[in-house]
Amino acid sequence: MIWSVAEDIAPLLSFALAMVAILAIPVRPGGVFNRTAKGFFAASILCYLVSSAASIMGHYYPAFTAAIDPAVVSIELLWVPFIAFGVYALYSHQQLTDAVSSRHAVKTAGEMLESVMETAPAGIVVLNDAGAITFANGEARRLLDIVDEGSSSLMSPDWSVRLTEGHDHATPSRRDFKELVAPDARHDARVLVSWPNGWHRHLSVNTAPFEDGAGRVGGAVAAFVEREPSTGIVR
Amino acid sequence: MIVVSHNAVSNAFKLVAALAFLPVMFTIARNIRVTEATRKAFILGVIAIIASFAMTAIDQQVGVRLGAYDLLFRWVRHLTVSLGGFSFAWAAWRARRHEVTMAGDHR
């Protein structure tokens, strides 16, 4: 009875090594592998470990091995779904890990941006393509006298807005910041905001437009500071 | 006359099933986030095992007619299976090494 290196030892050794290596892969939070993928890979290797062991047993118990040969063939057949499920489980786990880490990154960035907005000494607003305010930080709420009663209050201000510089004559008053929503960024634009009771504020505004999904101007971020103390007289 | 045994059908089915899964496995294997060494070793292992499936199916049908070459054919088949096994072992080992490195554990 001679063991064949090619037929018996090499397959058994190779799959035993593969099994050890797979079982040694660490599973860690945020890692590439999870237990399900590892389990399927280990099962696929186990199929061939059983097959190799059955081949060796054939030297000692030929009749028994011949009897279980159909079962061994079926076990080898299981390699196909096991390896496919293993790869798919690995891919699904990576997709899920990516989604979770992306959500965490977005949340962290959002919190940081919110901190920047609230601590900035300038008033910062986000304007939609119609020039309506969709977000205003604390300083912007103070300068524009926005009362926070829900997002709808941002859309219906009682003041009017007028660009006062960079034009031959002042532009008509508007009830939004549409004039600031343009393809090009503005720097130190002068804006006059007036209230019905006669109060007004002169603001210096910087704007940066942003695109919507179709490549058009989807709105702008505007940061403004007050140029001079407020007066009750509109000049 | 070719006698179609249960094993012959099983072996043929095994090969067909593996070939059917092959495009899906390769597509996913190309997209999973592992090192290139792991990816290539894994793909080599899959190819080797499927090649052994094909050789088994062929051997089932024409092995008797190979005469003296039958033993050589069987050796090549088993070596192909071994190549698959060693490839999987290498892929898993490289994947393990990468995971350990990423975890900052260099033991």
Residue A178 to residue A157: CA distance in whole angstroms: 13
* Chain A partners within 8 Å of B85 (Cβ): 10-11, 13-15, 17-18, 45, 48
**A120-226 sits in which CATH class?**
alpha beta
Residue B59 has pLDDT above 70, yes or no: yes
Look at residue A92 in the predicted model and tell me its pLDDT.
93
Nearest to B98 by CA among B26, B22, B32, B30: B32
Tokens of A84: 């496919």
Cβ proximity of A192 and A162 under 8 Å: yes
- Range A30-42 average pLDDT: 91
Residue A25 to residue A38: CA distance in whole angstroms: 8
Residue with tokens 């891919």: A91
Residue B3 has pLDDT above 60, yes or no: no
Look at residue A157 in the predicted model and tell me its pLDDT.
66
Q: What is the DSSP letter of A234?
A: -
Q: What's the pLDDT band for B46 if we cut at 50, 70, 90?
A: very high
Look at residue A235 in the predicted model and tell me its pLDDT.
41
| Range among A4-18, A72-86, A169-183 with highest mean pLDDT value | A72-86
Look at residue A76 in the predicted model and tell me its pLDDT.
85
- Tell me, yes or no, if B57 comes closer than 8 A to chain A by beta carbon: no
Torsion region of A107: left, alpha or beta (phi above 0 gives left; psi -120 to 50 gives alpha): alpha
R_g of chain A computed on alpha carbons: 35
CB contact under 8 A, A32 and B95: yes
Distance from CA of A111 to the nearest CA of B (A): 27
- Range A105-130 average pLDDT: 92
Distance from CA of A110 to the nearest CA of B (A): 27
- Tell me, yes or no, if B8 comes closer than 8 A to chain A by beta carbon: no
Q: How far is CA A48 from CA A5, A83, A155, B76, B84, in A?
A: 16, 12, 68, 17, 10
Tokens of A8: 């018996």
| Range among A35-44, A45-54, A199-208 with highest mean pLDDT value | A35-44
Residue-wise pLDDT tens digits, A209-225: 999 888 888 999 999 99
Asked if the interface predicted TM-score (ipTM) of this complex is over 0.90, the answer is no
Residue A202 to residue A230: CA distance in whole angstroms: 7
Q: What's the pLDDT band for A66 if we cut at 50, 70, 90?
A: confident
* Chain A partners within 8 Å of B99 (Cβ): 25-26, 28, 31-33
Query: pLDDT higher for A70 or B7?
Result: A70
- Range A70-79 average pLDDT: 85
- Range B57-63 average pLDDT: 75
- Tell me, yes or no, if B81 comes closer than 8 A to chain A by beta carbon: yes
Look at residue A46 in the predicted model and tell me its pLDDT.
95
Residue A103 to residue B8: CA distance in whole angstroms: 52
CB contact under 8 A, B103 and A91: no
Please, what sign has the CA dihedral across residues A97, A99, A102, A107? negative
Is A152 exposed, middle or buried (CB count within 10 Å of its CB: 0-12, 13-18, 19+)?
exposed
Residue A138 to residue A122: CA distance in whole angstroms: 9
- Name the E strands within chain A: 123-128, 133-136, 160-163, 186-194, 200-211, 217-226
Look at residue A189 in the predicted model and tell me its pLDDT.
87
Q: pTM for the complete prediction?
A: 0.71
Mutate to test the interface with A, among B6, B36, B96, B107 (most CBs of A within 10 A): B96
Residue A167 has pLDDT above 60, yes or no: no
Mean pLDDT score across all residues of chain A: 84
CB contact under 8 A, B78 and A14: no
Torsion region of B35: left, alpha or beta (phi above 0 gives left; psi -120 to 50 gives alpha): beta
CB contact under 8 A, B28 and A91: yes
Residue B27 has pLDDT above 60, yes or no: yes
Cβ proximity of B81 and A79 under 8 Å: no
Residue B1 has pLDDT above 70, yes or no: no
Residue B93 to residue A227: CA distance in whole angstroms: 66
Q: What's the pLDDT band for A62 if we cut at 50, 70, 90?
A: confident
Cβ proximity of B87 and B45 under 8 Å: yes
Look at residue A233 in the predicted model and tell me its pLDDT.
45
